Structure 1
Amino acid sequence: MAAKDELGRRGEDTAADYLQRTHGMVVLARNWRCRDGELDIVATDPEHRLVVVEVKTRSGTGYGEPAESITPAKMRRIRGLARAWMSEHHVVWPEIRFDVVAVLMPPDRPATLQHYPAAF
Structure 2
Amino acid sequence: MRENGTGGRYSRKQKGTAAEQAAVMYLTSQGYDIIKCNWRCRSGEIDIIAELEGGLIFVEVRSRSGNPQQGTPEESVNTRKIRQVRNTAEVYLHATGQEERQVSFDVISVLLNDDTSIAALRHIREAF
Written as runs of structure 1 = structure 2, the 5 A alignment for 1:8-27 is 8-21=16-29, 23-27=30-34
Provide the rounded CA distance (Å) in 1 between the counterparts of 2:23 and 2:119.
Answer: 11
Written as runs of structure 1 = structure 2, the 5 A alignment for 1:1-120 is 3-21=11-29, 23-45=30-52, 47-60=53-66, 61-107=68-114, 110-120=118-128
Q: Structure 2: which 5+ runs fail to align?
A: 1-9
Provide the rounded CA distance (Å) in 2 between the counterparts of 1:18 and 1:104.
Answer: 14
Identity of aligned residues (%): 37
Q: Structure 1: which 5+ runs fail to align?
A: none
Q: Is the 8 A contact 2:62 2:108 kept in 1?
A: yes
Q: Deviations over 1:18-50 (max 9, x none)?
A: 0011x20011110011111110000101x2110
Q: TM-score, normalised by structure 1?
A: 0.90
Q: TM-score, normalised by structure 2?
A: 0.85
Structure having the higher Rg: 2
Aligned residues: 117
Q: Deviations over 1:66-109 (max 9, x none)?
A: 00000112111111110101111222343111000000002167
Cα RMSD after superposing both structures:
1.5
